[in-house]
Amino acid sequence: MEFDTITAISTPLGEGAIAIVRISGDEAIKIADGIFRGPSGKSLLQVNSHTIHYGHLIEPKSGEIVEEVMVSVMKGPKTFTREDVVEINCHGGIVSVNRVLQLILSQGARLAEPGEFTKRAFLNGRIDLSQAEAVMDLIRAKTDKAMNVALGQMEGRLSKLIQKLRQEILETLAVVEVNIDYPEYDDVEEMTHRLFLEKGNYVKQEIEKLLTTSQQGKILRDGLATVIIGRPNVGKSSLLNSLVQENKAIVTDIPGTTRDVIEEYVNVRGVPLKLVDTAGIRETEDIVERIGVERSRAVLKEADLILLVLNYSDELTAEDEGLFEAVSGMDVIVIVNKTDLPQKIDLERVYELARSHKVVTTSLLEEQGIDELEEAIADLFFEGSLEASDLTYVSNTRHIALLGQALQAVTDAIDAIEMDTPIDLVQIDFTKAWELLGEVIGESVQDNLINQLFSQFCLGK
């Protein structure tokens, strides 16, 4: 498969020590050689693969020096895209890196589309689709555990398991075809049903194992949408600051200070929380504060976890009790804050309202109770800790949906076998499961889906 030569800036724009401009394609080394001058005068076309060279980029017509650079030359197929790849390391200023990019474009390279380098790695057979998607998960990982999950998928842990399951299904279908074509023995039908049932149950169990990791995997990938709610001045912004360990939110003794929704990611024992600090929910005549309160109520509907904050030094109000009703049926941790002040709250009533939800007491001013809160969050979603490191996690929404459909197809096939349905009809469900598993790794997927997936990648990757 042949493509034109593409280029893009592969490092974030802004000031930095080094920036990298990547070129990939049949003309990559030739284009770089046309604008590079090293002290030895040796052509980049003659250097060994996977070597790096010091020199300058030159404007070919005028001979003007554009940049001082280090140029890495990597010849295909032993590269990320399986094409010839050149990476130019230049100074990290915006002007510098843009001048280098413009110079390369003027020599005939095309500006790469978002994710096009990874797309070429997929199309050239370097990685499958699930591994390609893991590249973006790795870039976006917000905790060490999320990064480890992405690394495992990028190295092909999920791919190998999916390929193994597809092979089991394919071999079963092949044996059944032989039995149907050569029915010399009376017990062929019985053997065929038994084989289908055995392999079907095995594939079903393996898919179910994958799907049991999907909740944890998705949380590690996307983070828990965690909303902090409570009446004004109970310590919601202090809680956000304590978890983030920075003063992201304004904290004062004046009720109604937070007027809008504040979002921040925080790492709680390896679990990424997308923390949302809301405006205090109360009836108010202040127009701006009222808008904030309405936004607070709206974000509740999208939350995975609610942190409901109460004031230890205030009596429970009708507004407090109304908050318990508002989050009924959701995952909630109740936080009774300001234990450094005299108690006025009725804790027995709090436990009664909380029902089975965890109640944690804190004094955020004195930094007490944060560890217990983090433990409660880990217990609620991960039973205190994550699964073993050798477990294959499924975190991608597309993968989860396809695995669910494949599981249903296998289940339908097993049900059909137990009802003595003709083999040729059972084969249809098995074949459907095989195709759905193929979509996970890109063995059977439409071009428009591929284009859509890679368009979500960052430029230069």
CATH of the domain at 339: 3.40.50.300
The answer, yes or no, to whether residue 158 has pLDDT greater than 80, is yes
Domain co-membership, 353 together with 241? yes
Mean pLDDT within 6-16: 88
> Which residues form the domain of 315?
227-382
What CATH number does the domain containing 182 carry?
A: 1.20.120.430
Residue 165 has pLDDT above 80, yes or no: yes
- Mean pLDDT over 150-176 rounds to 85
Does residue 123 lie in a domain region?
Answer: no
Residues 207 and 243 placed together within one structural domain of the fold: no
Q: In this structure, are 170 and 243 located in the same domain?
A: no
Q: How far, in Å, CA of 229 to CA of 93, rounded?
A: 43
Q: What is the pLDDT of residue 445?
A: 63
Q: What are phi and psi of 9, to 5 degrees?
A: -80, 125
DSSP state of 309: E
Residue 306, Cα to own-chain centre: how many angstroms?
A: 22
| 241 and 366 together in one domain | yes
List residues bridging with 276 in a β-sheet: 227, 263
Per-position DSSP letters for 181-215, written without gaps between them: H---STTHHHHHHHHHHHHHHHHHHHHHHHHHTHH
92 assigned to some structural domain = yes
**245 and 321 co-located in one domain:** yes
Distance CA 47, CA 10 (A): 23
Q: Do 358 and 366 touch, CB atoms closer than 8 A?
A: no
Q: How many CB atoms lie within 10 A of CB 10?
A: 18
User: What element of type H or E holds 6?
Assistant: strand 6-9
DSSP state of 363: B
Q: 367 and 231: one domain?
A: yes
Q: How confident is the model at residue 284 (pLDDT cuts 50, 70, 90)?
A: very low
The strands making up 18-24's β-sheet, listed across from edge to edge, are 36-37, 51-58, 65-74, 85-91, 18-24, 6-9, 110-111
Q: Judge whether 117 lies within some domain.
A: no
Phi, psi dihedrals of residue 393, rounded to the nearest 5°: -90, 145
Q: What are 229-244's pLDDT values in tens digits?
A: 888 888 877 888 887 7
Residue 76's pLDDT is what? 93
Q: How many domains does the chain have?
A: 3
3-state secondary structure of 43: coil
Which of residues 286 and 420 earns the better pLDDT score?
420
Helix (H) or strand (E) holding 358: strand 358-361
Q: Where are the alpha helices (DSSP H) in 67-187?
A: 94-106, 116-123, 129-140, 144-154, 157-181
Confirm whether 1 is domain-assigned. no
Q: At what angle do helices 144-154 and 129-140 cross, to 10 degrees?
A: 160
Whether residues 104 and 194 fall in one domain? no
Among 357, 382, 407, the domain-final residue is 382
Strand pairing category for 85-91 and 305-311:
unpaired
Task: Pick from 126-140, 172-186, 257-271, 338-352 the range whose average pLDDT is largest.
Answer: 338-352
Q: Dihedral, CA atoms, 284, 287, 288, 289, nearest 10 degrees?
A: 10
Q: How far apart are CA 115 and CA 461, in angstroms?
A: 5
* Interior angle at CA 98, CA 93 and CA 101, nearest 5: 130
What's the whole-model pTM score?
0.66
Instruction: Report pLDDT digits (tens) over 92-120.
Output: 888 999 999 999 999 999 999 988 998 89
3-state secondary structure of 345: coil
Check whether 153 has a pLDDT greater than 90.
no
Averaged pLDDT for residues 212-217: 76
Q: What's residue 89's pLDDT?
A: 96
Q: Rounded to whole angstroms, how far apart are CA atoms 261 and 302? A: 13
The per-residue pLDDT for 78 is 94
Q: Clarify whether residues 238 and 105 are in a common domain.
A: no
Torsion over CA of 141, 145, 149 and 155, rounded to 10 degrees? 90
Say what the pLDDT of residue 187 is.
52
Percent of the chain with pLDDT over 70: 81
Confidence of residue 204 (pLDDT cuts 50, 70, 90): very high
pLDDT interval class at 336 (50, 70, 90): very high
